[in-house]
Amino acid sequence: MPTTLAVGLLALGSWLGRAWPDLGTSGGQMLVWGFFVSTVACYHGTYTINSLCHVWGRRRYATGDDSRNNWLLALITLGEGWHNNHHRYPMSVRQGFYWWEIDITYYGLRLLAALGVVWDLKPVPREVRDAHTAVAAS
Protein backbone atom coordinates (compact mmCIF):
# COMPACT_ATOMS: atom_id res chain seq x y z
CA MET A 1 0.00 0.00 0.00
CA PRO A 2 2.73 2.60 0.78
CA THR A 3 4.38 1.82 -2.55
CA THR A 4 1.08 2.37 -4.32
CA LEU A 5 0.69 5.75 -2.61
CA ALA A 6 4.23 6.80 -3.54
CA VAL A 7 3.84 5.75 -7.18
CA GLY A 8 0.40 7.39 -7.34
CA LEU A 9 1.73 10.69 -5.99
CA LEU A 10 4.65 10.60 -8.41
CA ALA A 11 2.28 9.96 -11.33
CA LEU A 12 -0.19 12.62 -10.17
CA GLY A 13 2.55 15.22 -9.85
CA SER A 14 3.93 14.37 -13.28
CA TRP A 15 0.47 14.61 -14.82
CA LEU A 16 -0.25 17.93 -13.08
CA GLY A 17 3.09 19.28 -14.31
CA ARG A 18 2.13 18.47 -17.89
CA ALA A 19 -1.57 19.38 -17.70
CA TRP A 20 -1.15 22.67 -15.78
CA PRO A 21 2.47 23.80 -15.98
CA ASP A 22 1.61 27.13 -14.32
CA LEU A 23 1.12 25.24 -11.04
CA GLY A 24 4.83 24.49 -10.87
CA THR A 25 4.09 21.00 -9.62
CA SER A 26 6.24 18.00 -10.44
CA GLY A 27 6.20 14.29 -9.67
CA GLY A 28 9.22 14.63 -7.40
CA GLN A 29 7.60 17.47 -5.48
CA MET A 30 4.41 15.48 -4.90
CA LEU A 31 6.43 12.42 -3.86
CA VAL A 32 8.59 14.33 -1.38
CA TRP A 33 5.79 16.35 0.24
CA GLY A 34 2.93 13.89 -0.10
CA PHE A 35 4.82 10.77 0.91
CA PHE A 36 8.19 11.35 2.60
CA VAL A 37 7.51 14.53 4.58
CA SER A 38 4.03 13.41 5.66
CA THR A 39 5.38 10.00 6.74
CA VAL A 40 8.17 11.58 8.80
CA ALA A 41 5.65 13.97 10.41
CA CYS A 42 3.36 11.06 11.26
CA TYR A 43 6.23 9.10 12.83
CA HIS A 44 7.33 12.12 14.85
CA GLY A 45 3.79 12.64 16.13
CA THR A 46 3.59 9.01 17.20
CA TYR A 47 7.00 9.05 18.88
CA THR A 48 6.17 12.34 20.60
CA ILE A 49 3.04 10.86 22.16
CA ASN A 50 4.77 7.68 23.26
CA SER A 51 7.59 9.71 24.82
CA LEU A 52 6.15 12.95 26.17
CA CYS A 53 2.77 11.60 27.28
CA HIS A 54 4.59 9.29 29.65
CA VAL A 55 6.37 12.27 31.23
CA TRP A 56 4.14 15.39 31.15
CA GLY A 57 0.46 15.69 31.81
CA ARG A 58 -2.21 14.54 34.22
CA ARG A 59 -3.21 11.04 35.22
CA ARG A 60 -6.93 10.37 35.56
CA TYR A 61 -6.57 6.59 35.78
CA ALA A 62 -4.06 4.34 37.52
CA THR A 63 -3.04 2.21 34.55
CA GLY A 64 0.10 0.42 35.72
CA ASP A 65 2.32 2.65 33.57
CA ASP A 66 3.23 6.33 33.49
CA SER A 67 0.77 7.40 30.76
CA ARG A 68 -0.65 10.89 31.05
CA ASN A 69 -3.22 13.07 29.33
CA ASN A 70 -1.73 16.18 27.75
CA TRP A 71 -4.21 18.64 26.25
CA LEU A 72 -1.62 20.49 24.14
CA LEU A 73 -0.34 17.30 22.54
CA ALA A 74 -3.94 16.20 22.04
CA LEU A 75 -4.60 19.35 20.00
CA ILE A 76 -1.41 18.95 17.95
CA THR A 77 -1.98 15.24 17.25
CA LEU A 78 -5.76 15.41 16.73
CA GLY A 79 -6.63 13.55 19.93
CA GLU A 80 -3.71 11.21 20.56
CA GLY A 81 -2.58 13.25 23.56
CA TRP A 82 -5.36 11.76 25.70
CA HIS A 83 -2.88 8.98 26.30
CA ASN A 84 -3.85 7.98 29.84
CA ASN A 85 -7.43 7.57 28.62
CA HIS A 86 -6.16 5.36 25.80
CA HIS A 87 -4.20 3.20 28.24
CA ARG A 88 -7.29 2.90 30.45
CA TYR A 89 -9.51 1.62 27.63
CA PRO A 90 -7.59 1.06 24.37
CA MET A 91 -10.54 -0.58 22.56
CA SER A 92 -12.39 2.71 22.26
CA VAL A 93 -12.57 4.73 19.07
CA ARG A 94 -12.54 7.83 21.26
CA GLN A 95 -9.48 8.92 23.22
CA GLY A 96 -10.98 12.13 24.57
CA PHE A 97 -13.43 10.52 26.97
CA TYR A 98 -15.32 13.71 27.89
CA TRP A 99 -16.87 16.41 25.71
CA TRP A 100 -14.21 18.97 26.71
CA GLU A 101 -11.37 16.65 25.62
CA ILE A 102 -11.04 17.66 21.98
CA ASP A 103 -10.48 14.59 19.80
CA ILE A 104 -10.49 15.58 16.12
CA THR A 105 -9.83 12.02 14.95
CA TYR A 106 -12.95 10.83 16.77
CA TYR A 107 -15.05 13.57 15.17
CA GLY A 108 -13.77 12.53 11.74
CA LEU A 109 -14.58 8.89 12.40
CA ARG A 110 -18.09 9.84 13.53
CA LEU A 111 -18.56 11.73 10.27
CA LEU A 112 -17.34 8.73 8.27
CA ALA A 113 -19.74 6.50 10.24
CA ALA A 114 -22.63 8.85 9.47
CA LEU A 115 -21.71 8.58 5.77
CA GLY A 116 -21.58 4.78 6.01
CA VAL A 117 -17.86 4.56 5.23
CA VAL A 118 -16.92 3.03 8.60
CA TRP A 119 -19.04 1.25 11.19
CA ASP A 120 -18.96 -0.62 14.48
CA LEU A 121 -17.24 2.19 16.38
CA LYS A 122 -16.62 1.12 19.97
CA PRO A 123 -17.51 3.78 22.57
CA VAL A 124 -16.11 4.05 26.08
CA PRO A 125 -18.48 2.39 28.56
CA ARG A 126 -19.69 4.92 31.12
CA GLU A 127 -18.56 2.75 34.04
CA VAL A 128 -15.04 2.60 32.60
CA ARG A 129 -14.94 6.33 31.84
CA ASP A 130 -16.22 7.43 35.24
CA ALA A 131 -14.09 5.09 37.38
CA HIS A 132 -11.38 7.63 38.24
CA THR A 133 -8.63 5.65 39.88
CA ALA A 134 -5.57 7.83 39.36
CA VAL A 135 -2.90 8.44 41.90
CA ALA A 136 -2.07 12.05 42.62
CA ALA A 137 -1.81 14.01 39.37
CA SER A 138 1.58 15.29 38.44
- Structural domain total, the chain: 2
**Where among 34, 52, 70 does a domain terminate?**
52
66 and 89 assigned to the same domain: yes
Q: What's the domain range around 21?
A: 1-52
130 and 82 assigned to the same domain: yes
Q: CA-CA distance, 53 to 65, in Å (whole number)? A: 11
Q: How many Cα atoms are found within 13 Å in the side-chain-facing hemisphere of 75?
A: 3
Q: What is the pLDDT of residues 37-55, one digit of tens each?
A: 999 998 998 899 999 999 9
Asked if the model's pLDDT at residue 22 lies above 70, the reply is: yes
Percent helix / strand / coil, the chain, rounded to 5: 55, 0, 45
65 and 47 assigned to the same domain: no
pTM higher than 0.85:
no
Asked if the model's pLDDT at residue 32 lies above 90, the reply is: yes
Under 8 Å between Cβ of 33 and 17: no
1 and 45 assigned to the same domain: yes
3 and 21 assigned to the same domain: yes
Asked if the model's pLDDT at residue 137 lies above 90, the reply is: no
Lowest mean pLDDT across 20-24, 44-48, 94-98: 44-48
* Residues paired with residue 58 on neighbouring β-strands, in sequence order: 69
92 and 47 assigned to the same domain: no
**Nearest-10 Cα torsion for 72, 75, 78, 80:** 20
